[in-house]
Structure 1
Amino acid sequence: MTELSGGQKTQQRRALSLDLARGSMLFLIITAHVPLFLYAMEPGVITKAAPGNVMDEVINFLMEIMVDNRARPLFAILFGYGLVMIYRKQSIRKGENEAKRIIRRRCWYLILFGAVLAGVAGGQDILMTYGIAGLILSGSLRKSNRKIIKRIIISTVVCLIYLPVLWGGVLLGIGDYGLPIAYTGNETYFGNLIGQLISIPVVPLFTHLFFPIIPSVYMGIWMGNKELLIRPHEHVSLLKRLTVWGLTISILGAIPLVLINDIWFPELFPAGIVYGVHMMSGLFAGIGYAGLFGLMGIVVQHRGTVVDAIAAMGKRSLTFFIMHECLIVITMSPAFFNLGAHLNVSTAAILAAVIWTVTLAVAYLMEKKHMAGPLEKLMRNLTYKPQ
C-alpha cells in the first residue's frame, strides 16, 4: 500500500471531521423532530410529550441534555463553516465579488429547497432559516476573526437578554409548560397544504426571532476561518478546550429544564426563562460537538464500515436531511401512516433510530457506487453557472 503524503492525510482528516459531524448531526435532528408528531400524548415541557413510563422519562432526560436546542446550533455552526469553505475556494478561482454572489445564489436556492420541504412536503424546515442567515452574514466572510468574535459576543448577549424573557411571555400566554399540540388526528394532506404554503414566509422569520440562529452561524464562520475541522491536527489543544468547556456549559444549562414538572414546579414566566437559558446554553453544545468531531477526525485511524457510512451520509447531508423529514411526515403524520397517534416517547426514539440507520445504509451504498447526493448535484448545477 502506498503511504499517504502529508497533504493527502490532511485531506482525509478534513473529510472525516466534517462529514462525521454532518452525518451525526442528522441523527440528532431526526431524534429531535420525530417526537413533535406525538399528538395523542399529553404535552410535557415545551415540545416534549409527557412521559408515560420510566423509559419515556429516560429518553426525555437524554433529549433535553444532549439533543434539544443542541442539534440546531451544530447545524448552524457547520453551515457557517461551509460558507467559509465555499467563499475561500471561489475567491481564489473567481475573485471575492463573484464568490459573494455564489454564496448568495446558493442561499436563495437553499431557501427555495426549504420552502418546498415546508410547504409541499410538510416537513420541519430549517433550510430557509439558514438560507436567510447566509444572505445576512455573507458580507462577514471578508471580516477578520477579531471582528467575527466581537459579533459573536454582541449577538449572543442580545439573544441572552431577550430570548428568556420572550419565552417566559410565551408560556405565560399559553398558560402551560407545554406548547399546544399541532395535530388533531383528522388532518389530510390536501387539507394541510394551504396552511403549509401560507406558513412558508412565517417559518424562517419565527425561527430567527425565537431561536439564537445568528450567533451560532457566526461561530461556524469563526471556526472556518481558523480551519479547525479542515486541519484539526494543528488545533488539538483548542479543540479539546472547546469540547470540554462547550459540553460542560451545555449540560449545566440544561439541568434546570430537566427538573421542571418532575421535582420543580416554577411559575410559568420563570419556566420560560429557564427554557431560554436552556436554549442559549445549547450554543455551547454546538461548539462542543463540533470540537469533538474535530478530535475524532484525528483519533480515528482506521475507517470501518460504520465510520464510512456516517461520513457518506455527511457528504450528502442536504439529500438525507430532506429525505429524513419526508420520511418522518410519511410515517408519523395523520395524513399518512399516522404513527404519531400510536407511538410513545420511547418507540418514537426507536423509529428515529431505525430511519437514520436504514438511510445510513443507503448512504453507504451510494458511496461505494460513487453516487453523488441528488440534491447536492442539483444544488451545484443551480449555484455554479456554466463556464
Structure 2
Amino acid sequence: MTLSPPAVHTATPAAQRSLAPDLARGTMLLLIALAHAHMFIGHDQTGFRGYAVDAAPLERLLTGVQVLLVDGRALPMFAALFGYGLVRLVDRQTRKGATWPQTRRIVRRRSAWLLVFGFAHALLLFFGDILAAYGFVGLLFTGMLVARDRTLLKIAALTSLAHIAVLVLLGLSAESADHRTEQPTTIADPLAALAMRLMTWSALTPTFYLVSILPAFAIGIWAARRRVLDEPGRHRGLLTRTALWGTAISLVGGTPLMLAETGLWDPHTPAAVSAYALHSVTGIAAGLAYAALIGLIADRRSAGTPGAIPRALAACGQRSLTCYVLQSVAFVALFSPQGAGLGTELTDAAASAIAVAVWAATVALAAAMARNGRRGPLETLLRRLTYPRSGFKYAK
C-alpha cells in the first residue's frame, strides 16, 4: 500500500494573495458591524429587522437605508466568500499532492473548530454568531466542494425555497408576538443573558442561518472554480452583469419592507410577512452584487500597486475572523448592561455611527499588523488547530 506524503501546510504569502476576496471580506465587515450594532439597543417594540418603530422621522429614514442596503445583505456575501475560500483551500491541497479524502478531513477539521469558535462567541458575546453556521455547513456539506455545477445550482434553488419557508414561519412568529421580544444583549443578569444567548443561537444556527447560507455558499463554489475573483479581468462581463442585476433585484425586493420599516406603509400580516421574506431572499442577489462590484474595483487596481485604503481593507479581510470577533467585544463593552450600558441610552442611528467607528478601528489595527508581518491571532489559532501535526508555518 502506498501512502501519500503529508504536505507542509503554509499560509499563502500576502504578496501572492488575490486582492478581490480579501478586499471583499474587509468591506463586508462594515456591513456586518452595521447589521449587528442595533441589536444591542433596547426597544419596547421593533420591526422585522430589529429597529425601533417609534423613532423620529430622520431616524427611521436611516433605518430605511440600512434595511435596503445592509440588513440581510452581508450574510449572503460572507457565505459566497466562505464557499469561494474553501475551494481555494481544496485547490492548494490538491497542488501539494493531497488526495480528496485527505483534503476532506482538513475541511471538516477546520469546520469543526469554526463551530467551536462560534459556540464560544455566542456563549460569551453575541447570540447572532455566524461562525458556527459556517462550521455547520462545512461539516455537513463538504461534498458540495466536488459536486457538479448542475448539482450546485439545484442546491442553490432548492435551499432558496427552504429559506422562504423558514422566513415565513419566523415572520408569522414575530407578528403574533407583536414584535415585542427581549434581546439577549439587553438582559442585565449575566447568567440569564448567557442562557438566552445560547437558546437564541441554538435555534437560529441549524434553521435560519443554514438555509440563508447554502444558496450563496453554492454559488461561491461555482465562482471559485472559474477563479472569478482571482482573475476579475477575465470575467469583467459576468461581474458587471452580476453587479447590475443583483443590485436591481435587491432594491426591488427590499423596497416593500423598507417602506414598512420607515412607517410609509402599514401592511397587514400577510403582506408584512411577504415583504420580510422577499427582502431576505433577494438579499442573496445583493450579496453577490456587492462581491462582484468589489471584484471590478480590484480589477481596476490590478494595473498598479493598491493604495493605502485598499491595502488596509485587504489586511482586514485577511484577518476577518479576528476583526469579526473584535466587533462583538467592542459592542458588548459599549452597549451591554455588563459593560458601559449604552444600549439603553442610545438610538439606532447612534449605534450605527459607533459601528462604523469600531469597524474603522479594526481596519486600522489590521493594517498595522500587516505592516509588521503579523497574522490575526484567531486566524493563526484556527490554522494550528486545523493542521495539528503538519508543521504549519507562515511564509512571509
Using the size of structure 1 for normalisation, the TM-score is 0.90
**Residues 147, 183 of structure 1: alpha-carbon distance in 2 compared, 3 angstrom cutoff:** closer
Q: Which residue of 1 aligns with 2:183?
A: 182
User: Is the 8 Å Cα contact of residues 127 and 200 (structure 2) preserved in structure 1?
Assistant: no
**Residues 333, 277 of structure 1: alpha-carbon distance in 2 compared, 3 angstrom cutoff:** same
CA–CA separation in structure 2 for the residues paired with 1:151 and 1:386: 35
Instruction: Please state how far the C-alpha of 1:89 moved relative to its aligned partner.
Output: 1.2
User: Is the 8 Å Cα contact of residues 313 and 364 (structure 1) preserved in structure 2?
Assistant: yes
Q: Which residue of 1 aligns with 2:233?
A: 233
Number of positions where the alignment pairs a residue of Structure 1 with one of Structure 2: 373
CA–CA separation in structure 1 for the residues paired with 2:244 and 2:185: 43
| Stretch deviating more after TM superposition (86-95 or 75-84) | 86-95
Instruction: Please state how far the C-alpha of 1:168 moved relative to its aligned partner.
Output: 4.1
CA–CA separation in structure 1 for the residues paired with 2:341 and 2:20: 37
CA–CA separation in structure 2 for the residues paired with 1:62 and 1:143: 38
Instruction: Please state how far the C-alpha of 1:41 moved relative to its aligned partner.
Output: 5.9
**Residues 13, 279 of structure 1: alpha-carbon distance in 2 compared, 3 angstrom cutoff:** farther
User: Is the 8 Å Cα contact of residues 42 and 49 (structure 1) preserved in structure 2?
Assistant: yes
Q: Which residue of 1 aligns with 2:115?
A: 111
User: Is the 8 Å Cα contact of residues 120 and 197 (structure 1) preserved in structure 2?
Assistant: no
User: Is the 8 Å Cα contact of residues 23 and 310 (structure 1) preserved in structure 2?
Assistant: yes
CA–CA separation in structure 2 for the residues paired with 1:184 and 1:118: 11
CA–CA separation in structure 2 for the residues paired with 1:14 and 1:374: 19
Q: Which residue of 2 aligns with 1:370?
A: 373
**Residues 298, 12 of structure 1: alpha-carbon distance in 2 compared, 3 angstrom cutoff:** farther
**Residues 226, 179 of structure 1: alpha-carbon distance in 2 compared, 3 angstrom cutoff:** farther
Structure 2 residue runs of 5 or longer lacking an equivalent are 1-13, 391-396
Deviations, residues 64-84 of structure 1 (Å, cap 9, x unaligned) = 111100011011111111111
Instruction: Trace 1:335-374 onto structure 2 (pairs within 5 A).
Output: 335-374=338-377
Instruction: Trace 1:1-387 onto structure 2 (pairs within 5 A).
Output: 15-40=18-43, 42-50=45-53, 52-93=55-96, 94-122=98-126, 124-160=128-164, 162-174=165-177, 176=178, 178=179, 180-182=181-183, 187-197=188-198, 201-208=202-209, 211-260=211-260, 262-300=263-301, 301-387=304-390
Instruction: Please state how far the C-alpha of 1:179 moved relative to its aligned partner.
Output: 5.2
Using the size of structure 2 for normalisation, the TM-score is 0.88
CA–CA separation in structure 1 for the residues paired with 2:111 and 2:265: 43
AA of the residue aligned to 2:73: R
User: Is the 8 Å Cα contact of residues 187 and 337 (structure 2) preserved in structure 1?
Assistant: yes
**Residues 370, 14 of structure 1: alpha-carbon distance in 2 compared, 3 angstrom cutoff:** closer
CA–CA separation in structure 1 for the residues paired with 2:217 and 2:129: 17
Q: Which residue of 1 aligns with 2:5?
A: none
**Residues 244, 98 of structure 1: alpha-carbon distance in 2 compared, 3 angstrom cutoff:** same
CA–CA separation in structure 1 for the residues paired with 2:255 and 2:274: 13
AA of the residue aligned to 1:341: T
Tell me the secondary structure at the aligned position of residue 125 of structure 1: coil
AA of the residue aligned to 1:239: L
**Residues 13, 88 of structure 1: alpha-carbon distance in 2 compared, 3 angstrom cutoff:** closer
**Residues 212, 321 of structure 1: alpha-carbon distance in 2 compared, 3 angstrom cutoff:** same
User: Is the 8 Å Cα contact of residues 45 and 260 (structure 1) preserved in structure 2?
Assistant: no
User: Is the 8 Å Cα contact of residues 118 and 125 (structure 1) preserved in structure 2?
Assistant: yes
AA of the residue aligned to 1:242: T
CA–CA separation in structure 1 for the residues paired with 2:190 and 2:173: 29
**Residues 184, 304 of structure 1: alpha-carbon distance in 2 compared, 3 angstrom cutoff:** closer
Instruction: Please state how far the C-alpha of 1:308 moved relative to its aligned partner.
Output: 1.2
Instruction: Please state how far the C-alpha of 1:51 moved relative to its aligned partner.
Output: 5.6
- Identity of aligned pairs, percent? 33
Q: Which residue of 1 aligns with 2:11?
A: none
User: Is the 8 Å Cα contact of residues 170 and 272 (structure 1) preserved in structure 2?
Assistant: no
Tell me the secondary structure at the aligned position of residue 260 of structure 1: helix
Tell me the secondary structure at the aligned position of residue 296 of structure 2: helix
Instruction: Please state how far the C-alpha of 1:53 moved relative to its aligned partner.
Output: 2.7
User: Is the 8 Å Cα contact of residues 319 and 376 (structure 1) preserved in structure 2?
Assistant: yes
TM-align CA RMSD: 2.1
AA of the residue aligned to 2:384: N
CA–CA separation in structure 1 for the residues paired with 2:147 and 2:387: 24
CA–CA separation in structure 1 for the residues paired with 2:169 and 2:198: 26
**Residues 140, 38 of structure 1: alpha-carbon distance in 2 compared, 3 angstrom cutoff:** same
Instruction: Please state how far the C-alpha of 1:165 moved relative to its aligned partner.
Output: 3.1
CA–CA separation in structure 2 for the residues paired with 1:123 and 1:97: 34
**Residues 135, 186 of structure 1: alpha-carbon distance in 2 compared, 3 angstrom cutoff:** closer
**Residues 196, 60 of structure 1: alpha-carbon distance in 2 compared, 3 angstrom cutoff:** closer
**Residues 181, 133 of structure 1: alpha-carbon distance in 2 compared, 3 angstrom cutoff:** same
Instruction: Please state how far the C-alpha of 1:364 moved relative to its aligned partner.
Output: 0.9
Structure 1 residue runs of 5 or longer lacking an equivalent are 1-10
